[in-house]
Amino acid sequence: MSSEKTPLPSASNFIRAIIEKDLAQNKYATKKWAGSPGDAAHHDTGAVDAAKIRTRFPPEPNGYLHIGHAKSIFLNFGLARDFEGVCHLRFDDTNPEKESQEYVDSIIDAVKWLGFDWQNGDESNLYFASNYFDFMYRAAESLIEAGHAYVDSQSAEEMRITRGTLTEAGKNSPWRDRSVAENLSLFREMRDGKHADGSLILRAKIDMASPNFNMRDPAIYRVRRAHHHNTGDKWCIYPMYTFAHPIEDALERITHSICTLEFEDQRPFYDWLLERLAEAGLLAHPLPKQYEFARLNLTYVVLSKRKLIQLVEEKHVSGWDDPRLPTLAGARRRGYTSAGFKLFTDRIGVSKADSWIEYSILEDSMREVLNVDAERRIAVLDPVKLVIDNYPEDISEDCFAPNHPLKPELGKRTVQLSKELWIEREDFMEVPSKGFFRLTPDGMVRLRYGYVVKCTGCEKDEKGNVTVVHCEYLPETKSGTPGSDSVKVKGNIHWVSAQHAHEAEVRLYDRLFKEAHPGQGQHEDGRDRDFLDDLNPNSVTTITAQLELSLKDVNPEECFQFERHGYFVVDRKDSVAGKPVFNRTVTLRDAWQK
Ligand code: ATP
Ligand code: MG
């Protein structure tokens, strides 16, 4: 419930407005909570819930969380925090396949990293939907007993055909009018393993003529012989998601169940089911209500677990935490921050209309936060030697560089200047192009935080590549000394002393996809594009850079602005003490803007 730093108030949105209204009307004033999830009888033993609202974030542990999930996390946990409520972390693990402990652990890590917690006093509020299987089974029997559910013997194909169309009502199943006794006995046989997978299915008995397909006798329990990571082989029948989810919410006494728009058509069934179970005395009022918002669609990435799994399994990336992936584990290694995600989610807002968000909005959010948070350092990424021919051989001197231009209280640090320096290759041009104000033969620039130097020429190898640039310094021009600006120059370049530099691996990351909508559209020969066709072949470049010495002893996940280059983070996986590896988080400016 808490965020690491004092959070800024969140932007308003339609869901907040609904909650404000619900609270003003005292909708939950008598809602009881027994300290743990359970049925009506259980909660009846509890006191009035101290949490003003309950929300939940319900991931299915079948993959790593991605940037889209961050939107849902900030929304659900943020609402709980702002309205003195609680947000549950619930693993929606009712589907026995594809779920694993690795995913559970990674999800816990990611939500904590974003700054949220679900513990409330001695209540953990960390729940597994599979712990509700017993109740779900009981709920299904109760529907059967009340004549609201029946066992259908039609094949999947027959069910599909009798479902009807948008303009045509469906047809009642020939098994729809089985007696309660027969339904109960068949359902128990399903549970006891007497029927093959797919042979029988339990359906809610609602209305085959409903204009809403989800109300045309939806399936609620199926036979599926599969080992479950939590319940093992106890069950060979599993509830359908649409049946399980409302029940999970109700057992946990969720007040506002927030989901993405594709569940809008499920809402009538959500309400129908909970009302039937409340009528049977199994669930307590007030029942949870479902609200839908538009999921995040982001350009230049894919936010589907299936595609992310494919990228990882086919080794297009180095793993789930590859800094190019839009997983939260990848974003973290890339140097994106929780505060950056908070700014981003506030900026994009919460609406009921689907839209695409430009990736650059996310990058801008990260830049804005890092601009304030990251100290400045000097790094030469593509080094070439600069020799100051008139500087003494064996000495070095201190120059003073501010740690943060916006935060003078962070002071200055010392960087050493000596006769041989590293400068950026692109800061010297033998034949300057128009408007080039850096080093050129006979030209003058200021060595940032040091002296003005005058270029005297360069050396080249047999291929014509510049190997050394020569210059002379003007001793009376040292930055910070009186009269240092007596010589006016247009250019200002950064440098590190070769003798004092720390050589390090730096990874320059770029977008993983070169197209805004990976996989959309056709090839020239008419074939459909696959998202893999749009992978950016140059999404990472590994270089050896020359860094100022203070960058040698840094901690994993520390982030810095390398002046003129962008924001960089100490890789949390591959760095060792005294030998950090740096990842470029984001450049200083948007290089993708057309
Ligand atoms: P899948 O890719 O398997 O369909 P999912 O993306 O729906 O999975 P879940 O684990 O079911 O993943 O998601 C957990 C929660 O995160 C859900 O409540 C869902 O609404 C929300 N969520 C998932 N993707 C997005 C997204 N792109 N934008 C906003 N919320 C999302
Ligand atoms: Mg889902």
User: Which residue, judged by its Cα, is nearest atom 27 of ligand 1?
Assistant: 68
Instruction: Find the catalytic residue in 16, 32, 60, 425.
Output: 60
d(CA 571, CA 257): 37
Ligand 1 pocket residue status of 326, Cβ below 6 Å: no
| Known catalytic membership, residue 60 | yes
Contacts 24+ apart (CB under 8 A), 237-240: 237/137, 237/190, 237/191, 238/94, 238/95, 238/96, 239/94, 239/133, 239/136, 239/140
Question: What SS3 state is found at 49?
Answer: coil
Which residue has tokens 């939260």?
328
Examine the domain organization and report whether 47 and 171 are in the same domain: no
d(CA 123, CA 471): 69
Among residues 253, 256, 241, the alpha carbon closest in space to that of 278 is found at 253
Domain-ending residue, one of 465, 493, 521: 493
Inside any domain, residue 96: yes
Examine the domain organization and report whether 115 and 199 are in the same domain: no
CATH number of the domain to which 78 belongs: 3.40.50.620
Examine the domain organization and report whether 110 and 190 are in the same domain: no
| pLDDT digits (tens), the chain, 594 positions | 443 444 455 667 899 999 999 999 999 999 999 999 999 999 999 999 999 999 999 999 999 999 999 999 999 999 999 999 999 999 999 988 777 889 999 999 999 999 999 998 889 999 999 999 999 999 999 999 999 999 999 999 999 999 999 999 999 999 999 999 999 999 999 999 999 999 999 999 999 999 999 999 999 999 999 999 889 999 999 999 999 999 999 999 999 999 999 999 999 999 999 999 999 999 999 999 999 999 999 999 999 999 999 999 999 999 999 999 999 999 999 999 999 999 999 999 999 998 899 999 999 999 999 999 999 999 999 999 999 999 999 999 999 999 999 999 999 999 999 999 999 999 999 999 999 999 999 899 999 999 999 999 999 999 999 999 999 999 999 999 998 888 999 999 999 999 999 999 999 999 999 999 999 999 889 999 999 999 999 999 999 999 999 999 999 999 999 999 999 999 999 999 999 999 999 999 877 664
| Known catalytic membership, residue 20 | no
Examine the domain organization and report whether 527 and 489 are in the same domain: no
Give the number of the ligand closest to the Cα of residue 297. 1
Inside any domain, residue 571: yes
Helices (H), 147-266: 156-161, 180-191, 241-251
Inside any domain, residue 500: no
Inside any domain, residue 1: no
What tokens does 73 get? 């996390």
Predicted pLDDT of residue 97: 76
d(CA 228, CA 576): 39
Examine the domain organization and report whether 126 and 23 are in the same domain: yes
Q: How far is CA 97 from the centre of its chain?
A: 23
In the chain, how many domains are there? Answer: 4
Ligand 1 pocket residue status of 228, Cβ below 6 Å: no
User: Which residue, judged by its Cα, is nearest atom 3 of ligand 1?
Assistant: 305
Q: What are phi and psi of 253, to 5 degrees?
A: 55, 40
Examine the domain organization and report whether 37 and 111 are in the same domain: yes
Examine the domain organization and report whether 75 and 101 are in the same domain: yes
CATH number of the domain to which 468 belongs: 2.40.240.10
Examine the domain organization and report whether 179 and 116 are in the same domain: no
Among residues 323, 231, 294, the alpha carbon closest in space to that of 511 is found at 323
Give the number of the ligand closest to the Cα of residue 65. 1
Which of 295, 341, 352 to mutate for ligand 1's pocket (most ligand atoms within 8 Å of CB)?
295
Examine the domain organization and report whether 223 and 276 are in the same domain: no
d(CA 22, CA 254): 13
Inside any domain, residue 499: no
Examine the domain organization and report whether 61 and 172 are in the same domain: no
d(CA 66, CA 545): 31
Domain-ending residue, one of 239, 262, 278: 239
Ligand 1 pocket residue status of 260, Cβ below 6 Å: yes
In order, the DSSP letters of 379-413 are: EESSEEEEEETTS-TT--EEEEEES-TT-GGG-EE
Examine the domain organization and report whether 283 and 319 are in the same domain: no
Domain-ending residue, one of 493, 520, 546: 493
Inside any domain, residue 174: yes
Give residue-wise pLDDT tens across range 182-206: 999 999 999 999 999 999 999 999 9
Examine the domain organization and report whether 517 and 368 are in the same domain: yes
| Known catalytic membership, residue 295 | yes
Ligand 1 pocket residue status of 69, Cβ below 6 Å: yes
Ligand 1 pocket residue status of 255, Cβ below 6 Å: no
Predicted pLDDT of residue 593: 61
Q: Which residues pair with 497 in a beta bridge?
A: 421
Inside any domain, residue 400: yes
CATH number of the domain to which 156 belongs: 3.90.800.10
Give residue-wise pLDDT tens across range 260-312: 999 999 999 999 999 999 999 999 999 999 999 999 999 999 999 999 999 99
Domain that holds residue 395: 379-493
Inside any domain, residue 409: yes
